[in-house]
Structure 1
Amino acid sequence: MKIELGDVAALARGCAVLGTGGGGDVRTGALAAKRAIQEYGAVPLVRLADLPGDALVVPLSGIGAPTVSHEMIPGEGEPERIAEEVERLFGRPPGAVMSSEIGGANGVAPVAWAARLRLPLLDADGMGRAFPEVQMVSMYVAGLPADLVIMSDVAGNVVTIRPVDGLWSERLARAVCVAAGSHALMADYVLTAEQAGGAVIEGTVTRALAVGRATEGTAEPLEALRRELGAARLITGKLTDVERRTTGGFVRGTATIEGTGDDRGRTLTVELQNENLVAVEDGRFRAMVPDLITVVDTETAIAVQTEGLRYGQRVTVLAWPCDPLWRTPKGLETAGPRAFGYDLDYVPVEDLTGAPAEGPVGVAGE
């Protein structure tokens, strides 16, 4: 299979939904992907089984605050500089590009990076969604050493970091990111195809394509999307308050939605750190990380990123189960509520909403 020009729009829609508000604005990633395909041709989409065991897989992602990436357009030399550094360090060139996170622009832009590097794109990622911190990837949960991070910025700087563990990879990479203006391109967990088996979440690019195509040609895009995701509808209403600030390389804040129609009289608050973290109604949690919470336009079912939230928008909040990897003890330690400072035990979204999910549930449910 190849990702053609006509696939980019659906991929972008799906990545926006899976991004849970973060991962960067898909519009810039989609434009970059379309331009690269036009210049270099369609991008082969491969499975791990298609690669030699010693092929180097390079997970790539933009790191920084989404509000900054929306305004500061990346340069075009970052992926080439990172690929050159990989070849210098390993003595051989990369064999494939992988998205570190399938959510937001970080799920779409790898199409452009793969095209520019003349490499295939691996049908996998490290999250099955988007998360804000470097160590919040499946490779860390799987116990692979986080001993290499390569970063490049729009000014042409290349920084190679040798952290002692995943937590230090986040601290050091975030400091470099802030110095670069709160946005840079990053490769972390460079690994062989053999090492990637069981350490990455497979099938997530095709999953994003399916999510993006679910709303095509239907008179009820919101319901079609909800069913494709197996999601619970938390509320439908109007955004009445948005508090958002950029600090330390993150976007943090809250969004308040007052219910309309059947939900009139209800109020839901969504707290965010780049991504939507928890949804709270009347002091009661309705959904929490690592489960996915996405705000979509009620009429079109197009996801609204955290940096795009505006007063008066008519939106619906959807929530659905994460990949099973994140519900393991190590997964919850890495990206559960306490990893974000919430003093509470994780409760699955299907238990909080009281309704079993319909249709596909996460990547593993396909």
Structure 2
Amino acid sequence: MTKYVDEQMIDDIALGASVLGTGGGGDPVIGVQMVKYALKVFGPIMLTPLSQVHDDKTFVPCGMIGATTVIMEKIMTPGQFLRAIDAMACTLKERIAGTFPIEIGGVNALIPFIVAAQKQIPVVDCDGMGRAFPEAQMVTFYLNELPSGPNTLADEKGNTLVLYPIDGM
């Protein structure tokens, strides 16, 4: 059953991400503030159970990479996440039906909610690992030998990049 996310759920997700992330993934405080703002501006965010995801739709994880301490010096912008997801849709030539966290650590657990609010798409109640990861290939997709790309990156200045890595290592 699809649920709608409210501010209390975001606080709870951030707390859980802090515990499961065991310090990885950065401090979720800025992410919490960004999601709560997105809720006010864009309205409700749907949270869909994994059982309602169908193979004929494209669901894309999202998150950030890099040193988490930089978040406090160089605050991320909601627009960079939107540009990255739009670049993925353009690259795949498909509509993105929903998103989910690539990991459940710190701020990365919250970024999909920011994207979902802006795009009016659901967040799937799942993640790629079950905790924060130190290396990108440590997600469950790698275990099933799924390709590690394409990947899209966007920065706060408007630069966007599509990567086609050889493997996830």
In 2, Cα distance between the equivalents of 1:7 and 1:28? 16
Q: What amino acid does structure 2 have at the position aligned with 1:38?
A: K
Amino acid at match of 1:65: A
Tell me by how many angstroms 1:85 deviates: 1.5
Query: 1:4 touches 1:42 (CA, 8 Å); kept in 2?
Result: yes
Q: Which structure shows the higher helix fraction?
A: 2
Aligned to 2:159: 157
Choose from 82, 85, 90 the match for 2:84: 82
Secondary structure of the equivalent of 2:135? coil
SS in structure 1 of the partner of residue 152 of structure 2: strand
Q: Does 1:73 align with 2:71?
A: no
Q: Counterpart amino acid of 2:139?
A: V
Correspondent of 1:23 among 22, 25, 42 = 25
Name the CA distance, whole Å, in 2 between partners of 1:135 and 1:143: 10
Structure 1 residue aligned with 2:117: 115
Q: What secondary structure does 1:166 align onto?
A: coil
CA distance in 2: counterparts of 1:161 and 1:129, whole angstroms: 25
Find the structure with the greater CA-based Rg.
1
How much does 1:5 deviate? 1.9
2:141 alignment counterpart: 139
Aligned counterparts of 1:5 and 1:39: Cα–Cα separation in 2: 13
1:156 CA displacement: 0.8
Deviations 1:13-51 (A, max 9, x none): 111111110101110010011000111112111123323
TM-fit CA distance, 1:138: 0.9
Matched, 1:129 2:128: no
1:155 CA drift (Å): 1.2
Determine whether 1:101 maps to 2:136.
no
Amino acid aligned to 1:108: L
Which residue in 1 is equivalent to 2:5?
3
Q: What is the number of residues matched between the two proteins?
A: 167
Structure 1 unaligned regions, length at least 5: 168-366
Whole-angstrom distance in 1 between the partners of 2:7 and 2:121: 16
Question: How far apart, in 2, do the equivalents of 1:76 and 1:147 lie?
Answer: 23
Answer 1 or 2: which has greater strand percent: 1
| 1: CA distance, partners of 2:97 / 2:10 | 22
8 Å contact from structure 1 (residues 24, 66) kept in 2: yes
Describe the superposition over 1:145-200 as per-residue Cα deviations: whole angstroms up to 9, x where unpaired: 11311111111111111111111xxxxxxxxxxxxxxxxxxxxxxxxxxxxxxxxx
